[in-house]
Amino acid sequence: MIQFRHVTKSFGAVGVRDVSFICPPGTVTGFLGPNGAGKSTSLRVLCGLIRPDSGSATIDGVAYAQLPQPGRRVGVMLDATAMHPGRTGRETLILAAQVLDVGDARVAQVLDVVGLDRAAIGRHAGTYSLGMRQRLALGLALLGDPGVLVLDEPANGLDPQGIRWMRTLLREYADRGGTVLLSSHLLPEVEAIADHLVVIDQGTIVADATPQELQGAGGTSVRALDPSALTAALVASGYQPTEAGNGLVRVQATTEQVGRVAAAASVVLTELRPIGHDLEQVFFELTGHGASA
């Protein structure tokens, strides 16, 4: 499990403030926010590259720097370009395997998983396309067979087939009990894979919910045999419904809350559904920025 507890780190006027959220085992958490919102700072604090001014970020209750053999517990991919350009893909993985004390058999397994063939791994990493570097970087993260993955923009440079492969890989990893924290600017891909979403803006967490909860944040649309009675019951319960015509009532409440109010007032409902938003629209509303991350 990944846990951020009130993490604050300032770089003058920028940084992160009181960042708190949890990534449970068996889930993919999408970490979203505009450029400069604090995503990279948060991930670097988690991975021990930056010391927070206050608060803590832990993996299974332990700070990254205090983990024995951290590469065997946490697979980290923060910058796919951070590899020696003069080494081949195979040399890069073999050297990392020696550091992690895993055998050559694991290198072969990882190469098969990330889809780098014999010709590719024999070339210098400096000649790789961005998509190939992403695959090699993910291979490095997976090499120690960790239970946690921390990935910053892992789908950058991948073609549609590669993105689909990445999505399947991470979904299966989480379904086997792994924990994934995934920062990405590809909102549709995050929506397709994430069990949970954390949105950060200007260094502060502005949303922490499931995709369904965020997309249903527009409230509830409801029809009743007696719309006036429903409206009166909602007002009496402290809500502010609006009548949209043809017996349709909209209210900023969950479907369960509206259903309970209607049942208590003996109002018969004929339609009850959340007012959905797509993830991009929710992102805009939460951050007031474009959909880059």
pLDDT in tens, 171-181: 999 999 999 99
Report phi then psi at 128, rounded to 5: -75, 150
Domain shared by 171 and 248, yes or no:
no
**Structure tokens that stand for 143 in this block:** 């090499």
Domain shared by 53 and 152, yes or no:
yes
Domain shared by 201 and 228, yes or no:
no
Write down the pLDDT at residue 216: 66
| CA dist 194 → 4, 54, 77, 131, 197 (Å) | 18, 28, 18, 22, 7
* Contact present, 166 and 155 (Cβ < 8 Å): yes
In a domain, 287, yes or no: no
β-bridge mates for residue 183, sequence order: 31, 152
In a domain, 291, yes or no: no
User: Whole domain around residue 253: which residue ranges?
Assistant: 218-274
Checking if the pLDDT of 158 tops 90, the result is no
For the segment 123-136, the average pLDDT, to the nearest whole number, is 93
Identify the residue whose tokens are 């891909």: 189
Report phi then psi at 198, rounded to 5: -120, 125
Domain shared by 41 and 183, yes or no:
yes
Instruction: Assign 217 a pLDDT band (cuts: 50, 70, 90).
Output: low
Give me the CATH number covering residue 8: 3.40.50.300
Q: Which residues contact 68 (CB under 8 A, 6 or more apart)?
A: none
Domain shared by 160 and 31, yes or no:
yes
Angle at 104 (CA atoms; ends 98, 110), nearest 5 degrees: 100
Checking if the pLDDT of 274 tops 90, the result is no
Domain shared by 200 and 258, yes or no:
no
Domain shared by 166 and 268, yes or no:
no
Residue 293 or 235, more confident: 235
Domain shared by 68 and 115, yes or no:
yes
When divided into structural domains, the chain yields a total of 2
In a domain, 42, yes or no: yes
Domain shared by 132 and 26, yes or no:
yes
Alpha carbon distance 52, 55 (integer Å)? 7
Checking if the pLDDT of 290 tops 60, the result is no
In a domain, 92, yes or no: yes
- Lowest mean pLDDT, pick from 20-24, 76-80, 212-216: 212-216
Give me the CATH number covering residue 230: 3.30.70
Domain shared by 239 and 123, yes or no:
no
Domain shared by 115 and 245, yes or no:
no
Angle at 69 (CA atoms; ends 66, 72), nearest 5 degrees: 120
Taking phi over 0 as left and psi of -120 to 50 as alpha, with beta for the rest, 107 belongs to alpha
**Structure tokens that stand for 136 in this block:** 């090699």
Helix (H, G, I), strand (E, B) or coil at 157: coil
- The domain boundary residue, chosen from 169, 196, 214: 214
Domain shared by 151 and 33, yes or no:
yes
- Determine what percent of the chain is predicted with pLDDT higher than 90: 71
In a domain, 286, yes or no: no
